[in-house]
């Protein structure tokens, strides 16, 4: 009889109890289906199972892979640089602003002799126009003090912005 037919007969309850004693797999199925007490009442004894060979470790073998533990050093703290202001930039912008304001209020011609001759038509006592600084001997390069030019306003705003930026801590 094939194993499939034996399983059908086991489920139907028509299987010969002697075939259960000869086949350990069928006995385990019958035991799980009907229970051990029913099989004992029918007079079916459990087949002998082969002893499972258990390998006992001798204690010398290591069962786990052990990796060497390398101590991980904590990252070195980054030394904090002392927060400072950009004093060089501040001094430069202060000097540049003071030069532009001096030209605006007093005029460079009043304390630096830029005229070639005292009788020339260039008025050296007045303010020098910054956009015409390359051609300072021309009469068009000079104007009255306290007259703001657009380029002077732009330069002053730019320099004040840099000065404020230089006061900010790093």
Residues 6+ apart with CB under 8 A from 44: 17, 20, 21, 27, 30
CB 63 within 8 A of CB 115: no
| Pairing outcome for strands 142-143 and 127-128 | antiparallel
Residues 138 and 132: their CA atoms lie apart, in Å, by: 9
Q: Where are the domains of the chain?
A: 3-42, 87-167
Predicted structure pTM score: 0.47
At 67, list the tokens: 């990796």
pLDDT tens string, the chain, 170 residues long: the values are 567 888 888 788 787 777 777 788 888 888 888 888 887 887 777 777 666 666 565 656 556 677 778 888 888 888 877 767 788 899 999 999 999 999 889 888 777 766 555 566 555 567 888 888 788 777 777 788 888 889 899 999 999 999 999 888 76
Please list, in sequence order, all residues whose beta carbon lies within 8 angstroms of the beta carbon of residue 128, skipping any fewer than 6 positions away.
Answer: 103, 107, 108, 109, 114, 136, 141, 142
């Amino acid at each position: 009889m094939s194993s499939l037919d034996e399983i059908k007969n086991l489920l139907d309850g028509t299987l010969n109890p002697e075939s259960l004693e000869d086949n350990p797999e069928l006995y385990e199925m019958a035991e799980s289906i009907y229970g051990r007490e029913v099989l004992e009442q029918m007079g079916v004894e459990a087949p002998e199972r082969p002893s499972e060979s258990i390998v006992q470790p001798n204690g010398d073998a290591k069962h786990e892979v052990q990796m060497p533990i390398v101590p991980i050093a904590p990252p070195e703290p980054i030394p904090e640089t002392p927060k400072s202001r950009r004093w060089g930039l501040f001094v430069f912008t202060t000097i540049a602003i003071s030069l532009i304001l001096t030209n605006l209020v007093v005029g460079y011609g009043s304390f630096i002799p830029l005229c070639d001759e005292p009788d020339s038509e260039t008025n050296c006592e007045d303010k020098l126009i910054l956009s015409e600084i390359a051609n300072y001997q021309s009469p068009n390069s000079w104007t009255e003090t306290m007259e703001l030019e657009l380029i002077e306003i732009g330069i002053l705003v730019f320099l004040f912005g840099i000065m404020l930026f230089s006061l900010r801590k790093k």
